[in-house]
Amino acid sequence: MKDIMNAPFLVEMVRTTTNMYAHGWDERNGGNISWMLDEAQAAEYLDVNAVIRDIPTGFEAPALDGKYFIVTGTGKYFKNVQYDPACNLGVIRITDEGKNAQLLWGFTDGGKFTSEFPAHMMSHAARLSVDPANRIVMHCHPANLLAMTYVHDLDSRAFTRTLWQMCTECVVVFPEGVNVLPWMLCGTNEIGEATAEQMKTARLVVWSQHGIYGAGKDLDETFGLIETAEKAAEIYMKIAHLPRVNTITDEQLHLMEGRFGIKAREGWLD
C-alpha cells in the first residue's frame, strides 16, 4: 500500500489550504473543503475496511451513500494543515444513507469533520444531480465579497450583473452567475438545505455577511471560481462610491458569449 502522505489528493489539499490561508480567505479556523474521492483513489493509500471510528452526521444524504471524502476538520486552522495533515484532515466514507461517516484516516486528535459538513454534503448531492463531474465543495471568507454584501442589493441577478461588469473574464468563468443567500445561522441543516438548492443552478453561492461556497470538478477550478469573483468584488468595492463613467455593457457581454462559446444565465442579460 502506498504512503498516503504522497497521495495526490492529500498533496493538493495541503497546497490549496495553504494557498487559501495566504490569500487571507481563511482566518483562524474559518473555511472548509471537502473533496469526493473515487474508491480506487482511497484504496491505493488506505485499507478501506479498517474503520477507525464512526461519526454521526446529523442529516440524511442517500445520494452520497458509500462515497469517500477527504475533508477539513472542525476548529482546524488552514495555516496548520501543511505541518500536520493527519490532525487537520480526515478521509471518511458515508454510510447509512448519509446518517453516518466512517473515519478511515486522519483527525488524530479525536476531532471530526467541519461543522459545515451538512452544507457540504447537501451541496455535493445537489451538484451531482446536475453535474456528475462535481468533486469539490469549498467554503471561505473572501473580504471583498463579504464587504459587497453590506452595500449591494442581495438579489442574485443584480449581484451577478455587477460582478460580470467589473472584469471581462467573469462572464466566461461563471456564466451561470452567483446565487446569494441572506444571512442565516451557520452550521445548521437549514443553511445546508438552502445552499444545496442554490447549488442546483450555480457553482457559486454567497452567504451574506459570512462568505462564499464554490463547487467544481477539481481544486484548481473551484479555487479559480472564487478567486475571480473575489477580484471582481474588490474592483467594485474600490469604485462603488465613485460615479461610473464607463462599464461593460450587456451588448459587450453578449459578444463574449459568441467569442468564448458560453451562454450567460437565461434572462440575466438584457
| Domain boundaries, given as residue ranges, for the chain | 1-114, 116-270
Pairing of strands 204-207, 178-181: parallel
CB within 8 A of 193, min separation 6: which ones? 122
Asked whether the CA dihedral 53, 57, 62, 64 is positive or negative, the reply is negative
Residue 119: closest CA among 71, 163, 161: 71
Phi then psi for residue 102, to 5 deg, are -95, 120
- Taking residue 70's Cβ as centre, other Cβ atoms within 10 Å add up to 25
At 265, which amino acid appears? R
Query: Helix crossing, 8-22 with 219-239: angle to 10°?
Result: 10
Burial class (CB in 10 A: 0-12, 13-18, 19+), 61: buried
Whether CATH 3.40.225.10 fits 116-270: yes
- Residue 269's pLDDT band, with cuts at 50, 70 and 90, is very high
**E strand spans, the chain:** 32-37, 53-56, 68-72, 89-95, 100-106, 136-140, 178-181, 204-207, 211-216
At 171-190, the pLDDT tens digits run: 999 999 999 999 999 988 89
Report the CATH number of the 1-114 domain: 3.40.225.10
The domains spanning 1-114 and 116-270 adopt the same CATH topology: yes
Please report, rounded to a whole number, the percentage of residues in the chain having pLDDT higher than 70. Answer: 100
At 109-145, the pLDDT tens digits run: 999 999 999 899 999 999 999 999 999 999 999 999 9
- Residue 44's pLDDT band, with cuts at 50, 70 and 90, is very high
Catalytic residue positions? 116
At 60-74, the pLDDT tens digits run: 889 999 999 999 999
